[in-house]
Amino acid sequence: MSPDPHIPHIPSGERFTVARGTLLLDRLMTLVIKFGGWLVMLAVFAIFAFIFVQILPLFGKPSVKAVGQVAVPVEDVVVMGVDEWGELPFFLSRSGELHFADLPRDLTTRTYGRVGAQDSMKLEIGPRGLFAVDTDLPEKTWTAFYYDAYTGEIALGSADGRIALLKINYRTEFLEDRSRRVVVAVESELLPPLSVSEAPIREIAFYDSSTNRSIAFLQEVDGQTKVTLQTYTVRSSLFGAATLVADKQINLDTAITDEKPERLLIGGRGDRILVTTEGGWLYYLSLRGDQLERVQKLRPFAEKSDPSIFSIDWLLGKQSLILTSESGANVTLASYLDADAGQILYTRIKDFSQLEGGGATDFSAAQRNRGFLLANEGQLSLRYSTTGEIRWEVTTDYQPKNIALGPRWDSIFAYDTDERLHVYALDDPHPNAGWKAFFGKIWYEGKSAPEFEWQSSSGTSDFEPKLSIVNLFFGSIKGTLYAMLFAMPIAVLAAIYVSQYLRPEAKRYIKPAMEIMASLPSVVLGFLAALWLAPLIEDRVPSVLLMLITIPLSAALLGYFWGRLPQTIRNFIRPGSEWLVIIPVILVVGYIAWQLGPTLEALVFRVYDPDIGAKVGNFRQWWVETTGGSFEQRNSLVVGLMMGFAVIPIIFTISEDALTNVPPYLTSASLALGASRWQTTWRVILPTASPGIFSATIIGFGRAVGETMILLMATGNTPIMEWNIFNGMRTLAANIAVELPEAPQFSTLYRTLFLGAMALFLLTFFLNTVAEITRQHLREKYKTI
């Protein structure tokens, strides 16, 4: 036989070899695909790692580094303070002399602590040396001092009962060679005699707001301690500087304090004074009219062995008091609005660990956060009030006498009894962060109990940031659950109907329609929710409730009666076209329910209207009065409906696929045994498709958790923790969007937003893992041959 003419003769060796190109391409593609796979995993891991690196510093300890020490020979220093840059500390001596020490530049800037490039730098007095500035105050023996580092004001009380005010104004000059120099200007004023007594002033307190000043002081008169509060109004003329005009003088009746007063502070708006006594009591007195009234008397260290109050000082914002006892116990007291008393009271909100070696001999409050520095004879302790943490503590080999925290929370100055100044560089960018701040209940100042709270910023600089991630987590879960509550039954039931009952012709239209629904941008949905749906259902909640009940009920009832009809009548509707009957019924019932809403409201949700003097139907008010919760226009119901709408397509599509993929032989087996279509669906198809439906639900859940725009626009973004369906929430995702513009790079808020991102990441990771494990388990249980 001749060989087939169509097949050219190729030697068999060649016929069976594979072309080099084919092999090469095969290997190349294998490599590319492998590489791509690894790259994806790497990318996910890199995102995780990046976020992790961003949040890590939040949980770090501060680093404090001793820069050095230098002799500053000033006699009998009573007040030490420092400028913004830590370059020109002042030293006020008991005689009223004011000295400044010129220190090298950049000693304590943050880069120092990190880079350490200036390790070789020696702390020494700079070219301007140690110089004194004339205060213009008459020579007196000063006996009492009060320094407010935030305003730079010092109040002095003299041995002859006179009071002077001193203000140190630091200013930064930039020279021609672009270098920086801190210069200082001092203002002073000797106040006119207060005509109380010429006895020495033992303690003094000063309060400064833009419109008024208050001074309170203690004097020993005839063996009795007198407390005086003098208020001033600030009158600023059109041309000149402001002048102080004496307003009222209140002499405290010592009967208000049954004990001997020891120390005092002014708070509130200059109308509260807090007096401590020898027995360890704290009296809170309030100025009402021309009288000081005793509002509260408490003993902060009551349960301690030595209840005496050794020191009392204001924290930034003058809402919290830091107290120490003689043995070194340390607590924070803060004011809050007491609901029962109907007024402001003080209560103990934090308990710090003991300051070893006794109570604080000096105190310095941070000027940008809730930190403070305590010193006693052999100890420096840097503490943070919000978290109740000790940031840093050191036992010194000198005796610190005066201390000051750098205004930028970057340096610590301690002046010892041997007239030496010790300087530390402080690197603590996130003092208010930590596990407790993010995940714990914290008793914030101004609150009546410990709570979870998120409020990252405010209009004032002395505000205490509240950074509880728990609220945002709660918000995410709340929004998601309400959305799932609405979406899941609809999506799964629709998937069952479409896969098991609907005629295939109709199915061809349903799936693309669902895809369009899925591709609607969520910003459009959010916009609709906020501007159309929210106002629409605001006044029609009873209608919506009625619809949510009557529509499923009418469909179920219709199904029930349909089953009771004789087969001959049912034959008019072909199997799979039952929707022709159901949809008109649902539309009619829905319309009737919508229209009946106001009637229901008038009948059931009745509240008393004082304007009319009768009971009227008003759901909003009824809800507020009945549940005690609030009613917001943009609430969880709106979110549930709209986000539910957004997640329906994804749950539907995956569930429908899972249901359709149930092998038809199982359906046949069930039907051949005489099961109805519903029995087949319920007993055979649903269990078999359950892994798919379960993953559909979890994927829908994940989609809702990560959803941002709808929540951002359709909720009030209030980080509250209530399940109330008629108020809003703030979710982790929306929070990132809301706060991003307010978070400077590497700030605590910036990193906290990353922490929120990490929480989202972990939440979805956790959900997916649980979903996958459960799905595998279900799949094993309901696997088919």
Partner 1 sequence: MSQETTTTSQKEDFEPFIQIKDDYNFWYGSAQVLFDLNLNIPKKQVTAFIGPSGCGKSTLLRSINRMNDLIEGIVHKGDITIGGQSIYDPALEVISLRKRIGMVFQKYNPFPKSIYENIVFSLRIAGRNRRSELDEVVERSLRGAALWDEVKDRLHESALSMSGGQMQRLCIARAIANSPEVLLMDEPCSALDPIATGKVEELIHELKKEYTIVIVTHNMQQAARVSDRTAFFYLGKLIEYDITDTIFMNPKNDQTEAYVSGRFG
Span from 483-491, 508-516, 519-527, 561-569 in contact with partner 1 (CB under 8 A): 561-569
Minimum distance, C-beta of residue 665 to partner 1, in the bound complex (Å): 4
Which of 7, 175, 516, 785 touches partner 1 by CB under 8 A? Answer: 785
Does 210 bind partner 1 (CB under 8 A)? Our answer is no
From residue 754, give the alpha-carbon distance in Å to each of 108, 246, 489, 736. Answer: 29, 52, 34, 8
Question: CA dihedral in degrees (30, 33, 37, 39; nearest 10)?
Answer: 110
Least separation in angstroms between residue 505's CB and partner 1 is: 9
Task: Note whether 699 and 709 are within 8 A (CB).
Answer: no
**For strand 309-314 and strand 320-325, is the pairing parallel, antiparallel, or unpaired?**
antiparallel
Examine residue 579 and tell whether it contacts partner 1 (CB under 8 A): no
Q: In whole angstroms, how close is the CB of 777 to partner 1 at the nearest point?
A: 13
Binding residue (CB under 8 A) for partner 1 from 675, 721, 737, 738:
675
Q: How far apart are CA 570 and CA 565, in angstroms?
A: 7
CB 374 within 8 A of CB 363: yes
How many chain residues are in contact with partner 1, going by CB under 8 A?
29
| Nearest-angstrom CA–CA distance, 297 and 318 | 19
Does 687 sit near partner 1 (CB under 8 A)?
Answer: yes
Q: Confirm or reject binding of residue 560 to partner 1 (CB under 8 A).
A: no
Contacts of 126 (CB under 8 A, 6+ apart): 102, 103, 104
Question: Nearer to partner 1 by C-beta: 528 or 662?
Answer: 662
In whole angstroms, the minimum distance from the beta carbon of 779 to partner 1 comes to 10
3-state secondary structure of 440: coil
Binding partner 1 (rule: CB under 8 A), the pick from 61, 235, 288, 683 is 683
Interface residues for partner 1 in 24-83 (CB under 8 A)?
A: none
Determine the Cα–Cα distance for residues 149 and 167; give it in Å rounded to an integer: 10
Q: How far is the CB of 689 from partner 1 (least distance, A)?
A: 11
Hey, what are 666's tokens?
């199982």
d(CA 347, CA 370): 17
Q: Which is nearer to partner 1, 339 or 569 (CB)?
A: 569
Give 573 or 592: the residue with its C-beta nearer to partner 1.
573
- Binding flag, residue 555, partner 1 (CB under 8 A): no
Pick 442 or 498: Cβ nearer partner 1: 498
Residue 571 sits in the site that holds partner 1 (CB under 8 A): yes
Give the nearer residue to partner 1 in terms of CB position, either 152 or 692. Answer: 692
Q: Is 121 helix (H, G, I), strand (E, B) or coil?
A: coil
By CB under 8 A, tell whether 343 contacts partner 1.
no
DSSP string, 319-358: SEEEEEETT--EEEEEEEEETTTTEEEEEEEEEEPP-TTS
Of 566, 628, 741, 744, the one binding partner 1 by CB under 8 A: 566
- Considering only residues 671, 721, 738, 767, which one is a binding residue for partner 1 as defined by CB under 8 A? 671
Helix H or strand E encompassing 202: strand 201-208
Among 8, 127, 223, 504, binds partner 1 (CB under 8 A): 504
Binding-site member from 30, 458, 599, 668 for partner 1 (CB under 8 A): 668
Q: Which of 15, 122, 564, 783 binds partner 1 (CB under 8 A)?
A: 783
Give 289 or 504: the residue with its C-beta nearer to partner 1.
504
Binding of partner 1 by 567 (CB under 8 A): yes
- Order of all β-strands in the sheet with 77-81: 77-81, 90-93, 98-101, 130-133
Distance of closest approach, residue 668 Cβ to partner 1, in angstroms = 7
Tokens standing for 667?
């359906």
Query: Radius of gyration of the chain from Cα atoms?
Result: 37
Asked if 684 is part of the footprint of partner 1 (rule: CB under 8 A), the reply reads yes
Task: Choose among 629, 626, 590, 588: nearest CA to 606.
Answer: 626
Whether residue 746 contacts residue 650, with contact meaning beta carbons closer than 8 Å, is answered with no
- Enumerate binding residues for partner 1 (CB under 8 A): 503-504, 566-568, 571, 663, 665-676, 679, 683-684, 687-688, 781-785
